[in-house]
Amino acid sequence: MIVEDHKIYPYLRHKKKFPGVWCAGCGIGIVLAAIVRAVNDLGLAKDDVAMISGIGCSGRMSVYVDFNTMHTTHGRALAFATGLKMARPDMHVLVVMGDGDALAIGGNHFIHAARRNIDLTAIVINNSIYGMTGGQYSPTTPMGDLASTAPYGTIERPFSICALAIAAGAAYVARSTVYHAWELGRLIRQGMEKKGFAVVEAISYCHTTYGRRNQKGTAVDMMRELKEKGITQAAAAKLSREDLEGKIVRGVLADRAYPEYTAEYDKIIARARAEAGERVPA
C-alpha cells in the first residue's frame, strides 16, 4: 500500500488507476518502484520523462506513472520511442517491455535499437512466460518447462536477453531481479545516466501462469528462488561452469562508450545546414 509521504507517491496517478491490473504477489510493481526511485534520485522533472510500453502485463505500467506515457503496440515500443527521442532528444525516454514483447515480436526492433545506440533506457521485465495471455511459452522460458502451449515441455532454447543486447551493441547492459529491488533501481538509474542504448533486465516471475504449472510454489517461494539464484559477478567468477548453471548473474554486464545516435544526427544537421547556407528556416 502506497502512503502519501512515501517518496514514490508524487510519481503515481492515483485517481481511478489503483488497484492495478497485476495479480497480487506479482513482481512488476517492484520494477515500477525501482524506476520511480531512479527518476527521483536523478532529480528529473516529471515533464522531462516519457515512459513508452509495449503489450502484456508490463505494458500496463505506463498507465500508473505520472510521466508522458504511451502504451503502444506489441513489440513496437522501442520503435515508437525512437521517433519520440529523435523529436525530443532532451527527454529521458524509458521503454518498458516484457520478454515476449521485447524478444519475440519485438526482437528485430530490440537488436536494431541496440545497434543504433540511441539514447533510450530499455527495461525488460523477464518473467519467462506470456502472462497476460495465459501462460504460453516465451523466448526466455527454460527448456523443458511446461506452458499452456508446451504441455509436453518446451523444446526451444531460451535467449539470454543481456548476451543478445551486448552482441547487438547496446552501450550499457545490466541485470538484476525483483528481489534485489534497491540494486535494480540503481542499475536503472545508471542506465538512464548512460548516453546511449541501455538495457536493464529485471528478472521477475509469474506465479499465476508459470509457477503453478511448473510446481514453483507461491509468489513468496519464487521470490526466494530469485534471492538464492541471484549472484554477483564476483561470486560468479569463482564458480565452475556447472555450478553457474541456473544462476542469475547480477550487475553491470557491459558499459561501453559508443557514439550515440541523436548526438550523431545533430552533427549531420549541423553539416547539412552549413551546406545549405541556412537557406530555409526550420
Interface segment toward other proteins; rule CB under 8 A; list 76-84, 179-187, 192-200, 224-232: 76-84
Q: Is 73 in the site for other proteins (CB under 8 A)?
A: yes
When binding is defined by CB under 8 A, the residue of 1, 24, 234, 280 that contacts other proteins is 280
Least Å from the CB of residue 79 to other proteins = 4
Q: Is 193 in the site for other proteins (CB under 8 A)?
A: no
Looking up cell 524478444 gives: 103
Q: Is 282 in the site for other proteins (CB under 8 A)?
A: yes
Q: Which three cell numbers stand for residue 118?
A: 540511441
For residues 35 and 187, which CB has a smaller minimum distance to other proteins in the complex?
A: 35
Question: Cα separations (Å) of 271 from 83, 113, 267, 274?
Answer: 21, 24, 6, 5
Cis peptide bond prior to 281, omega within 30° of 0: no
Residue 207 CA to residue 23 CA, distance in Å, equals 9
Interface segment toward other proteins; rule CB under 8 A; list 31-39, 106-114, 220-228, 246-254: 106-114
Number of residues that bind other proteins (CB under 8 A): 45
Q: Which three cell numbers stand for residue 67?
A: 510521466
Q: Is 69 in the site for other proteins (CB under 8 A)?
A: yes
Question: Cα separations (Å) of 225 from 30, 62, 178, 229?
Answer: 16, 28, 11, 6
Q: Is 271 in the site for other proteins (CB under 8 A)?
A: yes
When binding is defined by CB under 8 A, the residue of 70, 167, 236, 244 that contacts other proteins is 70
For residues 84 and 222, which CB has a smaller minimum distance to other proteins in the complex?
A: 84
Q: Is 126 in the site for other proteins (CB under 8 A)?
A: no
For residues 69 and 209, which CB has a smaller minimum distance to other proteins in the complex?
A: 69
Site for other proteins in 5-64 (CB under 8 A): 16-17, 46-48, 50, 52, 62-63
Residue 7 CA to residue 19 CA, distance in Å, equals 19
The binding site for other proteins (CB under 8 A) comprises 16-17, 46-48, 50, 52, 62-63, 66-73, 76, 79-88, 90-91, 108-109, 112, 265, 268-269, 271-273, 275-276, 279-282
